[in-house]
Amino acid sequence: MAKGPVHIRTNVPGAPFHIGDKVRVIKGTDETFDRRFLRRVGVVEHFEYSCGCGQTYPNDPMIGVEFRSGEVEEFWQEELKLFDR
């Protein structure tokens, strides 16, 4: 049986954000981007390095963001910005 992606829910030295950081979705970078998340604010919930999307450890993970609705979606670092409002 194949294993699914492994979500790391602790800080990873060298990762672009920290678990618990508040971030805003600022853009999409490929055809898989779901525009309904554009401009939404959420919290970094996990890092994912094993789904085969070209991630590199530690600096280029898929970044799982949890939104107020409870929904979690993954983004590339260039699609997110720290929310400093």
Domains of the chain in sequence order = 7-82 (2.30.30.630)
For residue 39, give the nearest of 65, 18, 62 by alpha carbon: 65
The pTM assigned to this predicted structure is 0.91
pLDDT computed for residue 16 by the predictor:
96
Residue 37: half-sphere exposure toward Cβ, Cα within 13 Å: 27
Residue 32 has pLDDT above 90, yes or no: no
Q: 3-state DSSP call for residue 72?
A: strand
Cα–Cα distance between 6 and 76 in angstroms, integer?
16
Residue among 14, 25, 2, 85 nearest 47 (CA): 14
Mean pLDDT of the chain: 92
Q: Place 66 in a pLDDT band, splitting at 50, 70 and 90.
A: very high
pLDDT at 54: 82
Look at residue 4 and tell me whether its pLDDT is greater than 70.
Answer: no
C-alpha–C-alpha distance, residues 19 and 45, integer Å:
6
